[in-house]
Amino acid sequence: MSAPDPRLSINQATIKYSNLEEALRVTAGAGIHAIGLWREPVNEVGLDVAARMLADSGLRFSTHCRGGFFTLPDGPQRRAALDDNRRAIEETATLAAAGADGSTAVLVLVAGGLPEGDRDLIGARERVRDAIGALAPDAKAAGVTLAIEPLHPMYASDRAVVSTLGQALDIASDFDAEVVGAAVDTFHIWWDPQVLEQIARAGREGRIATYQVCDWKTPLPADVLLGRHYMGDGVIDFASLTQAVVQTGYDRDIEVEIFNADIWADAPEHVVRRTAEAFTATVSPHLR
């Protein structure tokens, strides 16, 4: 196998059952240059230790996953969620500083769904905007970019009321581009009739905080959260989407984040190798 693409980053969720030590070792061991981390495995060892482990790995740090979940109305739970997001911002800054040159301080935000018993989608979306407003000064002070991630509309009720890239950009437009951007994830937005124009807009507005790739295939599994696939195994056209992102001037790491029970059950060394091969076949040709 040829060397992995130098812009490939493995999002740790792709090898979900690896702890931080294994995730770093397997990723670096495969000749990959970058990794996106999740909060739980980082906090399992503690932030300082995690930062040292990351530095020792020689890997770049591409994103921290994840903050958000702030659609609740005002009250102790919402305030606790905001405080937790502030900790996530600090983690992001610390890890980005510990990663190799070219690391980026990007915190991915998943908006959260409708609160139990609530049908006011517009109100929930407004609370997302308000929460980002509350966090923006902290992010700015820490040098962290908040990446609003639009999730596929099938998650709109129970996971993320931000459903399109255009909507994420509308929310982001209230804030400085270096503080609030959007996550462009093929799985979530490939179906959108406006996807190419919204990617171009995101580029013009300087808002592409991260580009993430994986594939869509049906039938969906019983747990629709786990319906992601290696690039090339589904129907997404990585050529047009990647070219659209490249044309904006986006030149940073590209993450692969796959939630899939079969892939999680596989050996992480094999998953990382397979991911690198899929990336080389489907994404790399469009990066020139």
Q: Is 216 in the site for a second copy (CB under 8 A)?
A: yes
Build a one-symbol-per-residue string for 30-49: x at contacts with a second copy by CB under 8 A, - elsewhere.
Answer: --------------------
Of the pair 201, 217, the CB lying nearest a second copy is at: 217
Is the C-alpha dihedral spanning 276, 277, 280, 283 positive or negative? Answer: negative
Beta-carbon neighbour count of residue 53 at 10 Å?
18
Of the pair 42, 236, the CB lying nearest a second copy is at: 236
Bridge partners for 80 per DSSP? none
Q: Among all chains, which residue has been given the structure tokens 């094999």?
A: 270
Indicate which single residue of 31, 130, 234, 287 sits in contact with a second copy (rule: CB under 8 A). Answer: 234
Q: Among all chains, which residue has been given the structure tokens 């905007």?
A: 129
The span of 24-32, 53-61, 99-107, 215-223 binding a second copy (CB under 8 A) equals 215-223
Q: What is the dihedral of CA 23, 28, 34, 38, to 10 degrees?
A: 10
CA 29 – CA 59 distance, rounded (Å): 10
At 180, list the tokens.
Answer: 């609030």
Q: Is 149 in the site for a second copy (CB under 8 A)?
A: no
At residue 144, the 3 state secondary structure works out as coil
Q: Is 2 in the site for a second copy (CB under 8 A)?
A: no
Q: Is 121 in the site for a second copy (CB under 8 A)?
A: yes
Of the pair 75, 117, the CB lying nearest a second copy is at: 117
User: Side-chain half-sphere of 108: how many Cα atoms within 13 Å?
Assistant: 25
Minimum CB–partner distance for residue 193 and a second copy (Å): 4
Minimum CB–partner distance for residue 276 and a second copy (Å): 21
Of the pair 85, 167, the CB lying nearest a second copy is at: 167
Task: Report yes or no: 11 and 39 within 8 Å, Cβ to Cβ.
Answer: no
Minimum CB–partner distance for residue 15 and a second copy (Å): 25
Task: Report yes or no: 208 and 202 within 8 Å, Cβ to Cβ.
Answer: yes
Q: Is 130 in the site for a second copy (CB under 8 A)?
A: no
Of the pair 61, 175, the CB lying nearest a second copy is at: 175
Strands 228-229 and 215-216: antiparallel
At residue 269, the 3 state secondary structure works out as helix
Q: Is 190 in the site for a second copy (CB under 8 A)?
A: yes
Q: Give the residues lining the site for a second copy (CB under 8 A).
A: 114, 118-122, 125, 152-154, 156-158, 163-164, 166-167, 170, 190-193, 216-220, 222-224, 234-237, 240
